[in-house]
Structure 1
Amino acid sequence: MIDDETPVLDNHLHLDPDNHRGIDAVRDFAHMGGTHLLVVNKPSWHLGVEAEAGEDFRAVFERTIDIVAEADKELEGRAWPVLGIHPGLISRLVDDRGFSPEDARDLMQAGIDVAAEYVEAGDALALKSGRPHYDVEDAVWNASNDVMCRAFERAADLECAVQLHTEASEEMTEVAEWAEEAGLPRHNVVKHYAGGRLEGPIPSVMCEKDALETAAERGEPFLMETDYIDDPDRPGAVLGPKTVPRRVRWLLENGHADAVRNAHVETPDLVYGIDTEGTL
C-alpha cells in the first residue's frame, strides 16, 4: 500500500477546463493516493485558439493556470502548470494554414517567450516544447529544432526545466547537448512519453509495467506519467488518471521502494527543484 508519507507525482497529464472530466480526473487521481501533478497545457487548437501572434497563446496558458489552481485544492500535495507550444502545431500551421516553416517557427518561438513570462512570474513551473514525432520535410524539422532550442535558451535564463514532446528514441544525447550549449543542464531536460531507457534527457516514463521495471533496474533518475489527455472523444487516452498511483503501489509490492523514491522525490527535486515531501 501507499502510505500517507509517500508522494505520488504524475509528471505529465492534461486537464480540459471546459469539455471533459477536468477536476473529476484529479479527484480520481487523489482518491487512489496521488498527491502531486504537473499539468501541461493542451494543444492550443484543442482549446479553440488558432494563433496569429505569440500573445494569442496567453488565453491557453491562463486557462491552464486556472484549472491547475482548482486541481491544487483537491490534492494532499501540489499541482503545477507546465506551459509551452505543442510541436505538432507546426504541421497545422504549414499544412493547413499556409505558413512557411520559418513563419511557423517565429510564431511558435513567440509563444515560448510568452510561456516564459509565466515561469518568470512564478505562475508556472516549467516550459514545454519539442519536435514532431512523425516524419516531416527537412525545413519543418529544422524549424522545429529552432523552436526547441529557443525553449532551452529561455529555460537557461529562468533556471527552469523543459519537457519535450519528440519522436520515440532511446538516444537523444544530441538534444541534451543542444540544451547544454544554451546553458541549460541536461538534468533540466525531460523527454515526456519515454520508455524505461534513455540517453541524454531525463525520461518521463509511461506507466507500462515493462518500462517501469527497466527504469527501476537502471537506477538512473526518472519520472512517471500517464499523458492523460482528458479528451471527450478518447475518454481513457493515453493512460487514465488512476494509473500512476496504481503503478506506485505495484512497484512497492514488487520491492522497488528505491525506484519510487527516485521517481517521486529525488528526480522531481533534481529536475524542477520541487520538494514533494515538504509539500505534502
Structure 2
Amino acid sequence: MEDLGTPVLDNHLHLDPAHGRGVDAVRDFRRLGGTHLLVVNKPSWLLGVDAERGDDFRAVFDETLSAVADADAELPGRAWPVLGVHPGLVTRLTDDKGFSPGDARDLMQAGLDAAAEYVREGEALALKSGRPHYEVSDAVWDASNDVLKHALSLGADLDCPVQLHTEATDDLTEIAEWAEERGLPAEKVVKHYAGGTLAGPTPSVMSEKDRLQRAAAEGAPFLMETDFVDDPDRPGAVLGPKTVPRRVRWLLEEGLDDAVENAHVETPRRVYGVDTRDTLSR
C-alpha cells in the first residue's frame, strides 16, 4: 500500500456492492494511497427503488450505509455517508410517472426529511441535493429550487453540510445567499463536479489536472473528487477510484504541497468538521 505522507480524501464517489465493484474499488483507492472517502448514495432508481413516499428512500440510504461500513473497514482513515435525493429524480417523476412538479417536489422533500434523520442520529455526515443540470420547464425548475432550498434549511437545522449537484457554472452566489439566509454558512454548501474556481459555495473539484491547477492557483478552499459511479455498464464513466491518490501524488511532485493540505486536511475540517489526520491514527 502506497503512503503519500498525507491524508487523501475523495469527496464524492458512489459504491454499489450489489451491481458494481463495491469494496474492490475501495481497495484500489487504498492501494494507491487513498485514506478517506465520502460515499454518496446512488440515485434511487438505479438501485431499483421506485419511491412513492419519503420513507421509501430509506432502502437506498440503508444500502449506502452498509457499503460505507465495508469501506470503512478497508481504509486507514474513514469513510462517511452522504445521503439525499438526486435532483434528476424530478424528471423521472414528471415525465415518466405523471407527477405534477408540485407533487414531485413534495416527494423529494420528504426523501430529504428521511435522509436528515440519519444525520440527526449521527449515521451520516452530510446531505445531498441540487437541481437539474439540463433544460427543464419553468415549473420543474421552480420545484427543483424549492427542493434545494429545503435541503439548505435542513442543513442549517442540523448544522451539517449539503452537497449539491447542479448545472455547470463557476458562479453559485445566489445559492450561497439562499444558504446564508437560512442560517447555513456558504462554505458548508459544496458543489460537486466543480471546475477549478467557484464563487459562492465550496467547490469539489473533479480531479482532472487542468481543474486542479486552477484550484491550486486560486488558493481558496476546495475538495477533490472522482464521482466514480461504480456501474459495470459504464466502466469508463467519469473518473476511476485510483484517480484522487494519483492526482495527489502529481500535485506533490509539482511542489503543490499547500494545495494538497488545503484539499485533504484544511477544507474537510472547515466544511465537515472532520480531522483527516487524527482519524488516520485510529
CA shift for structure 1 position 156:
0.4
Aligned to 2:267: 267
- Off by >6 Å, runs of 4+ in structure 1: none
Q: CA deviation at 1:20?
A: 1.1
Aligned pairs for 1:208-223 within 5 A: 208-223=208-223
Matches within 5 A, 1:139-150: 139-150=139-150
CA distance in 1, matches of 2:258, 2:237: 29
TM-score by length of 2: 0.98
Q: Which residue of 1 aligns with 2:258?
A: 258
CA drift at 1:4: 5.5
Give the whole-Å Cα distance in 2 for the aligned partners of 1:173 and 1:210: 23
Alignment check: 8 A CA contact 1:5 1:277 kept: no
Percent identity of the aligned residues? 73
Match of 2:203 in 1: 203
Counterpart amino acid of 2:78? R
Residue 260 of structure 1 and its aligned partner are, at CA, apart by: 0.1
Match of 2:18 in 1: 18
RMSD: 1.0
Q: 1:58, 1:266 → 2: CA distance?
A: 32
What is aligned with 2:193?
193
CA-CA distance at 1:3 after TM superposition:
4.2
Residue pairs, 1:1-280, within 5 angstroms: 3=3, 5-280=5-280
CA distance in 2, matches of 1:220, 1:49: 39
The one-letter code of the counterpart of 2:43 is P
SS of 2:270's equivalent in the other structure is helix
Q: 8 Å contact 1:83–1:127 — kept in the other structure?
A: yes
Letter in 1 for 2:180: E
Give the whole-Å Cα distance in 2 for the aligned partners of 1:3 and 1:49: 39
Q: Matched residues in 1 for 2:123 and 2:194: separation? A: 26
**Unaligned 5+ runs, structure 1:** none
Contact 2:4-2:249 within 8 A present in 1 as well: no
- Can you list the C-alpha shifts for 1:15-56, whole angstroms capped at 9, x where unaligned? 012001010000000000000000000000000001000010
* Structure 1 residues 4 and 194, CA gap change in structure 2 (3 angstroms): closer
Deviations 1:39-95 (A, max 9, x none): 000000000001000010000000000110000011000000000000000000000
Q: Residues of 1 paired with 2:92 and 2:4: CA distance?
A: 45
CA distance in 2 between partners of 1:105 and 1:145 (Å): 9
Amino acid of the residue matched to residue 174 of structure 2? E
TM-superposed CA distance for 1:207, in Å, is 0.6
The residue matched to 1:229 in structure 2 has which SS? Answer: coil
Q: Distance in 2 between matches of 1:52 and 1:116?
A: 18
Indicate if the aligned counterparts of 1:176 and 1:186 stay in contact, CA closer than 8 A: yes
SS of the residue 1:190 aligns to = strand
**Counterpart of 1:59 in structure 2: which amino acid?**
A
**1:236: how far off?**
2.9
2:276 aligned counterpart, secondary structure:
coil
Query: Structure 1 counterpart of 2:103, which letter?
Result: D
TM-score of the aligned structures, taking structure 1 as reference length: 0.99
- Note the alpha carbon deviations across 1:77-132, whole angstroms, 9 max, x for none: 00000000000000000000000000000000000000000000000000000000
**Distance in 2, Cα, partners of 1:4 & 1:253:** 11
CA displacement at 1:244 relative to structure 2: 0.0
